[in-house]
Structure 1
Amino acid sequence: MRGELYLPLALLFLSSGLSSNAQNAEGGAEEGAEASAADGEPVLYFERVIELNCTNPNLPKDTYHWTKNNTEVSQLKDKRFQLLEGDAVLRVKPAHELDFGNYSCASRGGHALSWRVWGRPHAKLAADTNVVEGQKLKLSCKVVGKPAPAVSWRFRNGSEGAELPLEEGALDGRVSFEDADGVPASVLVLADARRADAGAYSCVPGAAGVNATTTLRVKDMYAALWPFLGICAEVFVLCAIILVYEKRRTKPELDDSDTDNHDQ
């Protein structure tokens, strides 16, 4: 009899925990979406707002206690941290990337929940990139969002081509990666750029981040020489015209001087 009574309560508790853990931050890529960290633990991503619901389904008027990274929320003294609906809901607005961490709540009635909250990473790249053929290229991907995940790169040659992953030693061994600002592989190094390397390069921060793409244009190594040669040709033609004109103008003057001497 007791087992039959406890079973519905257990199911109710599990359903409330799942619904609370599934809440995502306002403005996320997908409402209620979760991802996993490298160790497989579920991660809740936020962008502009963090909102966590710890309502006790058995005691809606329960008393709640919140912590962030084992520090009581009441001790944070930050007006952005707000407790709503009888302290059952924690809202952080506006949320900053440094608000990531482990959040937990516990009620006097024995209800407890925890969240692993990370800022959704956003990649930033220049919209257009130019490089001269034969030179070394470095593409730096800046990642906003803590903790910053490892970065992966993709390449698409042409507007209709498929995106291909770029790994160490790709493109005939000319691709390598460097770490910057604590973000692994955030700098793509392309040695000896070629005309065929032109295309779209995408920086992908982790599995749930927002990508950034730059369009690479590879200029001919003699591109800067052609305008100079054109100017030289214009100067040469101009000098030739002036020289011919001066010769034609000088000849009649000489003829007039010969005629004057003959008359004398």
Structure 2
Amino acid sequence: MSRRTALSSPMALLLLFLAAVVSTRAQTEAAAEGAAAAAAAGGEAELVLYNVGYGIELTCDLPNPTKLDVVWKKNDTAVEAWWDVRGRYRLEDGGARLVLPPKTHEDDFGNYTCSVGGASRAWRVQGNPHSKLPANTNVVEGQKLKLQCRVVGKPYPAVTWLYENSTGGNLTDALAAFAPRAELATSDQGVEGGALLVAAAERTDAGRLVCRVNHNATFNGATVLRVKDMYAALWPFLGICAEVLVLCAVILIYERRRAKPELDDSDTDHHDAKKS
């Protein structure tokens, strides 16, 4: 009897050891999952930039072993009530992936969240900004210059105006280059600082202007500024006037020369009539 007890004691100890190891591992994994969920719930929202007109994809990678429903929200509004994306979004992978197909809008930006049980994850979705300017801008010397920077991508970022003179060189701050004649204003689009105003343009203002909203130069609009002489429009008019005067003088001289032979012939005929 004592021998059987002695043999069973090591086995019992081994079973108790294995049970303790399994329990400890399970607790560790559960703690790790809980920490990850807590970090996701309390962490900062991830910034996601998208190009307007292209797609958006968000993946809710929260632990979901029991296959709970994934709740998606935009600006604290449930997905079912998104009037601005209704009919354009779809949920994939059992609701864990939110997809907005191509042809996204500017107003698709916002704060997106997904929730599984008590855990959640957040994204700050913003349009990748880019700006547009006309390729060429012409202004007459002495007139007021107003340039509107067209910005695509909400929320609208801060606008920085840069200037490069016609001889080349590095881009510099446009307000400093045109000071004290320049100022910034809100554009017609509603972008603060999106309009550049320069009073009484000068010939030396000619160069290149850039409306920067993105550190990537590809996404920034640029225009070539040409300042015309204030009398430039007068020279063609004076040229036309000179041509008209010359033409009138030629016609007048021609008419006088043609009228003189006719007058001489008339006098000769009158003299011959008196003789007869």
Classify the TM-score, shorter chain. 0.7 to 0.9
Residue 130 in structure 1 maps to residue 138 in structure 2:
yes
Residue 73 in structure 1 maps to residue 79 in structure 2:
yes
Instruction: Note the C-alpha offset of 1:216.
Output: 1.7
Which of 32, 47, 50 is the equivalent residue of 1:43? Answer: 47
* TM-score, with length taken from structure 2: 0.74
Residue 232 in structure 1 maps to residue 232 in structure 2:
no
Q: Distance in 2 between matches of 1:54 and 1:66?
A: 9
Between the two proteins, the alignment pairs up a number of residues equal to 239
Q: Distance in 1 between matches of 2:235 and 2:66?
A: 78
Q: Please, what is the CA RMSD of the aligned residues? A: 3.2
Instruction: Note the C-alpha offset of 1:189.
Output: 0.3
Code of the residue aligned with 2:151 in structure 1: it is V
Q: Distance in 2 between matches of 1:74 and 1:261?
A: 110
Residue aligning to 1:177: 184
1:228–1:75 CA distance, 2 compared to 1 (3 A): closer
Whose Rg is larger? 2
1:150–1:206 CA contact under 8 A, matched in 2: no
Q: Distance in 2 between matches of 1:60 and 1:130?
A: 66
SS at match of 1:231: helix
* TM-score, with length taken from structure 1: 0.77
1:152–1:206 CA contact under 8 A, matched in 2: no
Instruction: Note the C-alpha offset of 1:144.
Output: 2.4
Q: Distance in 1 between matches of 2:146 and 2:196?
A: 6
SS at match of 1:240: helix
Q: Distance in 1 between matches of 2:104 and 2:251?
A: 72
Q: Distance in 2 between matches of 1:224 and 1:208?
A: 39
Which of 246, 258, 261 is the equivalent residue of 2:267? Answer: 258
Code of the residue aligned with 1:66 in structure 2: it is W
Instruction: Note the C-alpha offset of 1:125.
Output: 2.1
Instruction: Note the C-alpha offset of 1:222.
Output: 0.9
1:120–1:208 CA contact under 8 A, matched in 2: no
Code of the residue aligned with 1:44 in structure 2: it is V
Instruction: Note the C-alpha offset of 1:142.
Output: 2.1
SS at match of 1:236: helix
Q: Distance in 2 between matches of 1:208 and 1:49?
A: 20
Residue 121 in structure 1 maps to residue 129 in structure 2:
yes
CA shift digits 1:105-146 (9 cap, x unpaired)? 1223x5531101112223222222211111001001122222
Q: Distance in 1 between matches of 2:91 and 2:151?
A: 30
- Counterparts of residues 97-116 of structure 1 (less than 5 Å): 97-108=106-117, 111-116=119-124
% identical equivalent positions: 48
Q: Distance in 1 between matches of 2:172 and 2:138?
A: 21
CA shift digits 1:189-242 (9 cap, x unpaired)? 011111221222111225579311122221111111111111111111111111
Residue aligning to 2:257: 248
Gaps of 5+ in 2: 1-20
CA shift digits 1:68-111 (9 cap, x unpaired)? 11111133361212111111111122421111111111223x55
Residue aligning to 2:211: 203
Code of the residue aligned with 2:182 in structure 1: it is V
Q: Distance in 2 between matches of 1:41 and 1:89?
A: 17
Which of 99, 103, 122 is the equivalent residue of 1:91? Answer: 99
CA shift digits 1:33-57 (9 cap, x unpaired)? xxxxxxx975321122111111236
Which one has the bigger strand percentage? 1
SS at match of 2:104: coil
Which one has the bigger helix percentage? 2
Code of the residue aligned with 2:137 in structure 1: it is T
Q: Distance in 2 between matches of 1:152 and 1:87?
A: 41
Gaps of 5+ in 1: 22-39
Q: Distance in 1 between matches of 2:195 and 2:140?
A: 19
Code of the residue aligned with 1:200 in structure 2: it is R
